[in-house]
Amino acid sequence: MDRLDLRILDQLQSDASLTNQMLAERVGLSPSACLKRVRRLKTRGIIQREVAILAPEAFSESLHMVVEVIMARDEKSLYRDFVRRVEAAPEVTQCYQVTGEVDFVLIVNVPNMQGYDRFCEDVLYAGGGMHKFRTLISRKRNKFETRLPLSV
């Protein structure tokens, strides 16, 4: 990846709806050269997907939680089973396997406490392998960013 690729990625992280013409103008390339680069970045898996980011306040109230999970044992099969359940759970928007005192950190979004109770039963308590978890309920989201910092 060169500086032009990084400039393209930086622009697309800000606004993926840019037309190829607009993107090419912003990064200083011809439209055909820009399109080739974007296609190559997609083929290589650097651009994984393009999404619409929704404003949570436009929807009914919901609870946003950070859940720290400690597994019962440091065993690969337990981790794999847990990750499968998490990947299948629509309430989990992010999952990180981490180092330190906890094994996983989850970002969970549910409509209410009853929804969280169902999530706990269906994901956290199901299948075994989890020792304990701690839930932090978000009062306010002060920053949310999807873009990666790039040196352009």
User: Are 25 and 61 contained in the same domain?
Assistant: no
Q: What percent of the chain has pLDDT over 90?
A: 80
pTM: 0.84
Note the pLDDT of residue 101. Answer: 95
> 55-64 — which CB contacts under 8 Å span 24+ positions?
56/141, 60/111, 61/111, 61/112, 62/109, 62/110, 62/111, 62/112, 63/109, 63/110, 63/111, 63/112, 63/113, 63/115, 63/116, 63/137, 63/138, 64/107, 64/108, 64/109, 64/137, 64/138, 64/141
What is the sign, positive or negative, of the torsion defined by CA atoms of 133, 136, 137, 140? negative
Mean pLDDT for the stretch of residues 105-121: 96
Tell me the pLDDT band of 110, cut-offs 50, 70 and 90: very high
Evaluate whether residue 52 is within a structural domain.
Answer: no
The enclosing domain of 12 has a CATH number of 1.10.10.10
- pLDDT tens string 66-88: 999 999 988 899 999 999 999 99
User: Are 132 and 62 contained in the same domain?
Assistant: yes
User: Are 68 and 130 contained in the same domain?
Assistant: yes
Count the alpha carbons within 13 Å of 35 in the hemisphere toward its beta carbon.
6
Domain count, the chain: 2
Evaluate whether residue 152 is within a structural domain.
Answer: no
User: Are 20 and 89 contained in the same domain?
Assistant: no
Q: Which of 4-8, 75-79, 148-152 has the highest mean pLDDT?
A: 4-8
User: Are 63 and 85 contained in the same domain?
Assistant: yes
Residue 61 pLDDT exceeds 90? no
User: Are 72 and 11 contained in the same domain?
Assistant: no
Residue 60 pLDDT exceeds 90? no
What is the span of the domain harbouring residue 64?
57-137
